[in-house]
Amino acid sequence: MTEPMLKAEQVHKRFGRLEVLKGISLEVARGEVACLLGPSGSGKSTFLRCINHLEKINAGRLWVDGELVGYRQSQNKLYELPEPEITGARAEIGMVFQRFNLFPHMTAIQNVIEAPIRVKRISKRDAVERGHRLLNRVGLADKVDEYPARLSGGQQQRVAIARALAMDPKLMLFDEVTSALDPELIKEVLDVMRELAAEGMTMVVVTHEMGFARDVGDQVIFMDEGVIVEQGPPADLLDNPREERTKRFLGLVLEH
């Protein structure tokens, strides 16, 4: 199984006249954690959204587990897949957002079981059983019947992680999942992510948490203005960056 879990080849994305991604090429092996760093507006979150086809790319190719994302290829031309097929493929890619995006009118367990029942057609009984296991796994066994408004930000984010895991994804995408949290709540979310990494989940993580990138990342990618400026193992990139732009960014981030 040498094929990477994620492969991006010259991915471009524009919003009108603004080119946000200018040819991103990247590979993430199975079981690897790739951490994306960079200033706001560098294209990190857009790239994440392209991976599961929440945003359509303008040029290039993206594969997850050997399958083209959002398209089929015929004689070197790309044809967008019909929405049901895209939804099916997206179900195998878990995504956790900066804002928790939980359904406010549903309890924690209801949030977790909604997609497996609707999208994967899992029986409610099986979904509930698995939902309880997942909430227990993220340390929320005692919060299964609580509504989001009664949970802290860290607890809501852990429900969001459990909800993504409920679809049994091949790949997990995390988009600055701790940036809306108070400092004391960040650790509880990062601890769950550390456990997932230790269990071999392939993860692409947009983060400003340098300690996490250093300890958990297999590779760190620094992006700026829609391009990858440099990438490498955490110790190399964080301690001995080659590019001036990377040095400036890390200088600012590590000061705080």
pLDDT of residue 101: 83
pLDDT of residue 12: 95
Return d(Cα 256, Cα 233) in angstroms, integer: 22
Which regions in the chain score pLDDT beneath 50? none
Query: SS in 3 state form for 3-28?
Result: CCCEEEEEEEEEECCEEEEEEEEEEE
Q: Is 181 helix (H, G, I), strand (E, B) or coil?
A: coil
Alpha carbon separation from 191 to 95, 159, 215 (Å, rounded) = 17, 14, 12
- Tell me, yes or no, if the pTM score tops 0.85: yes
In one-letter notation, the amino acid at residue 93 is I
pLDDT of residue 1: 54
pLDDT of residue 255: 58
Q: What is the dihedral of CA 36, 40, 42, 48, to 10 degrees?
A: 50
pLDDT of residue 63: 92
Could you tell me which residues are beta bridge partners of residue 7? Answer: 27, 63
Contact 205, 236 (CB under 8 A): no
Q: What tokens does 208 get?
A: 């400003």
Return d(Cα 138, Cα 191) in angstroms, integer: 9
pLDDT of residue 100: 76
